[in-house]
Chain A
Amino acid sequence: MSTQQHNGQAAPAQPAAAHMPAPAGTVPPAGAGAGQQPGQGQPGQGHWPGGIAPYSSPIPMARTNLGHALVSEWTKIRTVRSTVWTLGVMFALVVGIGLLSAVGLSGDFTGMPLLSSGLFGLMLGQICVITLGVLVVTSEYGTGMIRTTLTACPQRGRVLLAKATVFFLLAFVMTTLACALTALINSALLSDQTLPSYERGSELADSFEGGKLVASGSEWLGATVGAGLYVALLGLLSLAVGALLRHSAGAITTMMGVVLLPLLMAMFMAGKALQDVRDFLIEYSPLNGLASLYRIPMTTDQDATGWPLLGGLAVVTLIVFAAAYALLNKRDV
């Protein structure tokens, strides 16, 4: 923290500038002397009329980039309790419910693909990920931390991008791990099933190999990576919605609506006239996307894998995120 001599006019933008000899006769900005007491300066050094050379830090200055923001956001996300709580509860719900349902169903014929019962836990677990996604952004607005953050990094887009990346990777890894663990439990406890005679010739019959229910590679992929990706994307959408609304409760409520409302509305749409609307709502309900990844789609199309819906979710997320990115740069904090 030593005072170094410095060209009177140069902003300390480049650290190198601080060590250059101050050019003689540097002209101070107009009117700079008005409030200063003259005559205190060391001759030939500080060219500021007040006699004090502008401060220059001895700490080398790094040019910041997204990497710095990523490290910072990682520190932030791992040092608050909400992260531990939401992800912990998500893990407990997914694995716990998966284990309970597997134990409960074991021995009987379940009538669904081997890994499908993992969906039940994840339907609740995704709410935790949504909550965390919202909180990653809105907790900064709620506490006022956002002003500190954006003062420390006025490149606002970089902050949002770093938050999104760190959160998405964390949510994806954690959800995929939980889903994979659940899938392993299911495959261990539920593969001993006997195909009842009335199911012969059904699609499920193809999944029986040597008297055991097995899951294909694509089923495994859908129930682990697919489900993890889907929920992490939902969380990312929540993060973007949080950045748009800047309010925790508002954003969480909005996301609950997005996830639950299509299906709830469809349930009350009886009658032929609304058939098309109902089918549309069910097909594009976020819950149907998740169910399809577990190979138990809610529509009549039993071949749905959920991947196209996941792509759709990715597109929606991208659009909302772009809107949040643009608005963040535009709005006052």
Chain B
Amino acid sequence: MIEAYGLTKRYGAKTAVYNLSFQVRPGAVTGFLGPNGSGKSTTMRMILGLDAPTSGQVTVGGHAFRGLPNAPRQVGALLDAKAVHGGRSARNHLLSLAQLSGIPARRVDEVLGVVGLQEVGKKRSKGFSLGMGQRLGIAAALLGDPQVLLFDEPVNGLDPEGILWVRNLMKRLASEGRTVFVSSHLMSEMAQTAEHLIVIGRGQLMADMSVTEFIARNSVGFARVRTPDSEPEQRDKLVAALHEAGGQTQPEEDGALRVTGLELPRISDLAHSADVRLWELSPHQASLEEAYMRLTQGSVDYRSTADMRTGLQQPAGAPAMAGAPAMAGAPAVPGAAPQQAAVPGIAAAPQMPPGQQAAHAPAHGAAAYPGGPQDAPQPGVPGGGTLQMRAPQPGTNPYAADAPAAPTAPPAGPAAPGMPGGATNEGEDAR
């Protein structure tokens, strides 16, 4: 059991992790997803007491890691496959770790066998391939036969056979009742390994739910329905009819409706009987990988290109979108360049501080979705919480310098999609 509350880590002006709260429970593999640089490793280091959080706290089995009397017996970790002294043999490396926590030496040979390194145990780890290094790191994590296991990108550098082995190992460890927390930047890998997902982007929580739920919320198809733009009353009529028939609707950024819970022919029939003309009725399917990509895209772009573009490509006339007020305001104007996007089903509610939730959830749920935020299992309606994702604004990135560091900036994000009739769900049809 790993519990984090309001975990925040700043390195100088840079905020690596902001207000992260989550629980990792035993008996299941929990995937920790996020793009490179999103704060996964920093979070792992804070769990392991290597980095001290700027604020907030994290406990393992109810104790702060550094207060554990015999840490390797309770928590095993693979942080970095290369975090070994290359001049020491694999066996001696493990032996020194075993001695540190009073583990019998024969356990070293046991774990060498488990990870398949018994043949090269006497070789210096300097000559190991990345895959062998990963195996050695996993061996070190398993050494203490711990209740909680953390793996940071364990399949990096492994061949397909090795990946399969790691996948099965994780599942087996979890089935024994252990807490298994695995970070990765590959959704496809996690979808096959993990039962539960914690997704972060730019150091903030984006999703905390089971994989089944994630898939249900993110990869289910929906119908795009468009009524004549010139006659908004037609749209309202259709929405009423669809709701009556048990469907859910959600306004799209361009004025169309996203409809879930109803088959396409049924929508057509309903429209016909309500005497509403349709301009568009099309099926859409979002894949899990795409959902994840959209979810994390903002942070990825933020990392890689923000600096380059500001000086080179920004047209002279582009408005300088700096600061939180501009962020919150912009998407509320229909037709404005999409800057914020709510990603359906990505609920951060249980983790949000009460203040933040109170501020944004009502606006979100009450105004946009009559059903309220709590009874919304279908895709497209957030499960009672705020959504945090900022799609990149081409040419400008007002967050580039210090957004997460400014306390007002992160809450500003979720507010925008909640504006009634405002720009929402850009992410779903951004493809």
- B413 CB to nearest A CB, Å: 24
Cross-chain contact A145 with B84 (CB below 8 angstroms): yes
Cross-chain contact A57 with B177 (CB below 8 angstroms): no
Give Cα A11–Cα B101 distance, bound, in whole angstroms.
18
Q: Chain B residues near A63 (CB, 8 Å)? A: 69-70, 102
Q: Chain A residues near B74 (CB, 8 Å)? A: 11-13
Q: Using a CB-CB cutoff of 8 Å, which residues 64-101 of chain B contact chain A? A: 65-75, 77, 79-80, 82-89, 92, 95-97, 99-101
Cross-chain contact A153 with B175 (CB below 8 angstroms): no
- Interface of chain A, main secondary structure: loop
Binding stretch for chain A, among B46-54, B154-162, B277-285, B395-403: B46-54
**Chain B, interface size: which category?**
35 or more
A36 on the B face (CB < 8 A)? yes
Contact of A76 among B1, B88, B209 (CB under 8 A): B88
Q: Chain A residues near B356 (CB, 8 Å)? A: none
What 1/0 mask marks residues of chain A from 85 to 120 whose CB sits below 8 Å from any chain B CB?
Answer: 000000000000000000000000000000000000
Closest to B150 in A: A151
Contact of A64 among B79, B100, B140 (CB under 8 A): B100
B27 on the A face (CB < 8 A)? yes
| CB within 8 Å for A71 and B99 given contacts A35-B209, A79-B89, A332-B50 | yes
Q: Chain A residues near B23 (CB, 8 Å)? A: 29, 31-32
What 1/0 mask marks residues of chain B from 346 to 363 whose CB sits below 8 Å from any chain A CB?
Answer: 000010000000000000
**Residue among A53, A62, A64, A71 facing the most chain B CB atoms (10 A cut-off):** A64
A273 on the B face (CB < 8 A)? no
Give Cα A66–Cα B95 distance, bound, in whole angstroms.
16
Q: Using a CB-CB cutoff of 8 Å, which residues 289-308 of chain B contact chain A? A: none
Cross-chain contact A35 with B177 (CB below 8 angstroms): no
Contact of B100 among A11, A50, A51, A152 (CB under 8 A): A152
- B395 CB to nearest A CB, Å: 36
- A42 CB to nearest B CB, Å: 12
| CB within 8 Å for A144 and B27 given contacts A64-B102, A152-B71 | no
| CB within 8 Å for A61 and B99 given contacts A35-B28, A154-B68 | no
Give Cα A332–Cα B97 distance, bound, in whole angstroms.
21
Q: Chain B residues near A73 (CB, 8 Å)? A: 96
Cross-chain contact B25 with A50 (CB below 8 angstroms): yes
Contact of B84 among A54, A68, A144 (CB under 8 A): A144
| CB within 8 Å for A13 and B96 given contacts A3-B176, A61-B73, A333-B50 | no
Q: Chain B residues near A80 (CB, 8 Å)? A: 85, 87-88
What 1/0 mask marks residues of chain A from 231 to 273 whose CB sits below 8 Å from any chain B CB?
Answer: 0000000000000000000000000000000000000000000
| CB within 8 Å for A143 and B99 given contacts A55-B147, A151-B48, A332-B52 | no
Q: Chain B residues near A58 (CB, 8 Å)? A: 145
| CB within 8 Å for A147 and B27 given contacts A68-B102, A153-B101 | no
- B346 CB to nearest A CB, Å: 15
Closest to A80 in B: B87
Cross-chain contact B83 with A52 (CB below 8 angstroms): no
| CB within 8 Å for A57 and B73 given contacts A36-B25, A46-B177, A151-B79 | yes
Q: Chain B residues near A333 (CB, 8 Å)? A: 45, 50-51
B195 on the A face (CB < 8 A)? yes
Q: Chain A residues near B86 (CB, 8 Å)? A: 143
A197 on the B face (CB < 8 A)? no
B255 on the A face (CB < 8 A)? no
| CB within 8 Å for A82 and B350 given contacts A51-B27, A62-B70 | no
| CB within 8 Å for A11 and B61 given contacts A55-B176, A59-B107, A152-B100 | yes
| CB within 8 Å for A1 and B176 given contacts A36-B25, A50-B27, A64-B100 | yes
Q: Chain B residues near A64 (CB, 8 Å)? A: 69-70, 100-102
What 1/0 mask marks residues of chain B from 151 to 171 whose CB sits below 8 Å from any chain A CB?
Answer: 000000000000000000000
Q: Chain B residues near A56 (CB, 8 Å)? A: 147, 177
Cross-chain contact B85 with A52 (CB below 8 angstroms): no
Cross-chain contact A154 with B49 (CB below 8 angstroms): yes
Give Cα A68–Cα B85 distance, bound, in whole angstroms.
19
| CB within 8 Å for A53 and B177 given contacts A147-B50, A333-B50 | yes
Q: Chain A residues near B92 (CB, 8 Å)? A: 75-76, 79
Cross-chain contact B209 with A59 (CB below 8 angstroms): no
B63 on the A face (CB < 8 A)? yes
Cross-chain contact A143 with B83 (CB below 8 angstroms): yes
Contact of B96 among A62, A76, A139, A144 (CB under 8 A): A76
Give Cα A143–Cα B83 distance, bound, in whole angstroms.
6
Cross-chain contact A59 with B145 (CB below 8 angstroms): yes
| CB within 8 Å for A13 and B83 given contacts A52-B175, A54-B1, A148-B97 | no
B62 on the A face (CB < 8 A)? yes
- A325 CB to nearest B CB, Å: 15
Give Cα A167–Cα B425 distance, bound, in whole angstroms.
62
Cross-chain contact A62 with B102 (CB below 8 angstroms): yes
B146 on the A face (CB < 8 A)? yes
Q: Chain B residues near A332 (CB, 8 Å)? A: 45, 50-52
Contact of A52 among B26, B68, B69 (CB under 8 A): B26
- A67 CB to nearest B CB, Å: 9
Cross-chain contact B145 with A52 (CB below 8 angstroms): no
Cross-chain contact A152 with B177 (CB below 8 angstroms): no
What 1/0 mask marks residues of chain B from 182 to 202 whose CB sits below 8 Å from any chain A CB?
Answer: 000000000000011000000
Cross-chain contact B99 with A139 (CB below 8 angstroms): no
- A3 CB to nearest B CB, Å: 5
- A292 CB to nearest B CB, Å: 37
Cross-chain contact A82 with B27 (CB below 8 angstroms): no
A200 on the B face (CB < 8 A)? no
- B105 CB to nearest A CB, Å: 10
Q: Chain A residues near B61 (CB, 8 Å)? A: 11-13
Give Cα A6–Cα B77 distance, bound, in whole angstroms.
22
**In the A-B complex, the 4 residue pairs with the closest CB atoms:** A11-B61, A62-B102, A52-B27, A144-B83
| 11 intermolecular pairs with C-beta atoms under 8 Å apart | A3-B177, A11-B1, A11-B60, A13-B69, A34-B210, A54-B1, A59-B145, A68-B102, A143-B85, A148-B140, A152-B97
Q: A151-B48, A154-B49 are in contact. List 4 more A-B contacts (CB 8 A).
A: A3-B176, A58-B145, A68-B99, A332-B51
Residues of B participating in the A interface, judged by any CB pair closer than 8 Å? 1, 3, 23, 25-28, 30, 45, 48-52, 60-63, 65-75, 77, 79-80, 82-89, 92, 95-97, 99-104, 107, 140, 144-147, 175-179, 195-196, 209-210, 350
